């Protein structure tokens, strides 16, 4: 296996579909409000997303290597199998973290000043399962940086609409990460790791995930009313809501066999479709 394939697999490039679409929405939202599409900024935003995510994922694989090796679900990952050495995963993290900071320098001063904060957040997440069941919400917070970061890259300032968009991403991803943790309920307890399923049990975890996604729906409504009130947005929002409901329909207390489908496929489609309709509304109207 080539080094490119090894590290692409290590950081799960396919999972970029969760945050990247919302970074594009943040970019186009800022460009629309400024009435100026700064196309030269867009590739820098994409690179920032790419480097930050690579750093976060490789660091997670490095610090969690002992737990990954002990968990049957994750024992086949690259570091436990010896496909990627722990030292190489850490070096990959450091290189990508430095590239992330360097890229923000070429965007604007605020992005550069906030880059260490963003890195501390996405790298620090990897330790949260060791002490709090709120780790799912920390992950949601990490992903929620995408739209507001892209907005700042264009505008150089904070504003209410991207904060609402970030709240949507936080609630959406926190809810589906609780679902993703369901198969590890017993393992987390045995290793004294913290998660909502391990702390509250499968039934309550499913109810909490649904409640978080209901709150996400409120954020979707708020964004539409406040910033993107057009037919494109509401079409995308409706499809997004259908995906949220569907992933809870295919799971139950007695059957969580479709967790991977709910986590990766349904949410991947939800994020991409929602973002495409949002962008269409921002560009076309």
Instruction: Classify residue 178 by its DSSP letter.
Output: H
Question: For the chain, where are the alpha helices, taking DSSP H only?
Answer: 3-10, 20-34, 42-63, 65-70, 78-81, 86-105, 109-124, 135-155, 160-180, 185-190, 196-200, 202-226, 231-249, 259-260, 267-284
What distance in Å separates the CA atoms of residue 238 and residue 280, rounded to the nearest whole number? 15
Contacts of 218 (CB under 8 A, 6+ apart): none
Whose CA is closest to 244, among 273, 228, 221, 266? Answer: 266
Question: Class of 3-284 per CATH?
Answer: mainly alpha
Residue range 186-197, pLDDT digits in tens: 999 999 999 999
Whose CA is closest to 214, among 265, 264, 274, 168? Answer: 168
Residue spans per domain, the chain: 3-284
Flag whether pLDDT at 13 surpasses 80.
no
Spell out the long-range contacts of 112-120 with Cβ–Cβ below 8 A and sequence spacing 24 or more: 114/149, 114/152, 118/52, 118/145, 118/149, 119/52, 119/55
Flag whether pLDDT at 1 surpasses 60.
no
| Average pLDDT over all residues of the chain | 92
Residue range 163-186, pLDDT digits in tens: 999 999 999 999 999 999 999 999
Residue range 63-98, pLDDT digits in tens: 999 999 999 999 999 999 999 999 999 999 999 999
Q: Hunting for tokens 């057009």 — which residue is that?
A: 230
Confidence of residue 284 (pLDDT cuts 50, 70, 90): confident
What distance in Å separates the CA atoms of residue 19 and residue 97, rounded to the nearest whole number? 17
* Verdict on whether the full-model pTM lies above 0.75: yes
């Amino acid at each position: 296996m080539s080094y490119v394939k090894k590290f692409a697999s290590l950081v799960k490039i396919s999972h970029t579909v969760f945050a990247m679409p919302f970074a594009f929405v943040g970019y186009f939202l800022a460009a629309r409000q400024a009435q100026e599409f700064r196309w030269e900024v867009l590739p820098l935003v994409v690179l920032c997303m790419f480097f930050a995510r690579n750093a976060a994922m490789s660091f997670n694989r490095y610090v969690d290597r002992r737990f990954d090796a002990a968990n049957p679900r994750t024992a086949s990952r690259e570091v436990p199998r010896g496909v990627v050495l722990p030292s190489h995963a850490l070096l990959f993290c450091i290189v990508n973290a430095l590239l992330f900071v360097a890229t923000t320098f070429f965007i604007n001063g605020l992005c550069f000043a906030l880059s260490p904060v963003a890195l501390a957040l996405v790298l620090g997440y990897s330790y949260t399962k060791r002490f709090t069941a709120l780790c799912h919400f920390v992950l949601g917070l990490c992903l929620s940086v995408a739209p507001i970061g892209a907005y700042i890259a264009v505008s150089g300032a904070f504003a209410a609409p991207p904060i609402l968009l970030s709240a949507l991403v936080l609630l959406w991803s926190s809810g589906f990460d609780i679902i993703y943790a369901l198969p590890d309920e017993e393992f987390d307890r045995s290793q004294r790791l913290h998660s909502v399923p391990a702390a509250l049990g499968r039934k309550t975890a499913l109810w909490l995930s649904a409640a978080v996604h209901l709150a996400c729906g409120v954020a979707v409504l708020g964004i539409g009313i406040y910033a993107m009130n057009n037919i494109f947005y509401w079409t995308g929002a409706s499809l997004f809501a259908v995906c949220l409901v569907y992933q809870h329909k295919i799971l139950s207390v007695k059957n969580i066999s479709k967790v991977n489908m709910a986590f990766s496929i349904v949410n991947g489609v939800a994020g991409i479709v929602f973002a495409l309709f949002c962008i269409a509304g921002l560009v076309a109207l």
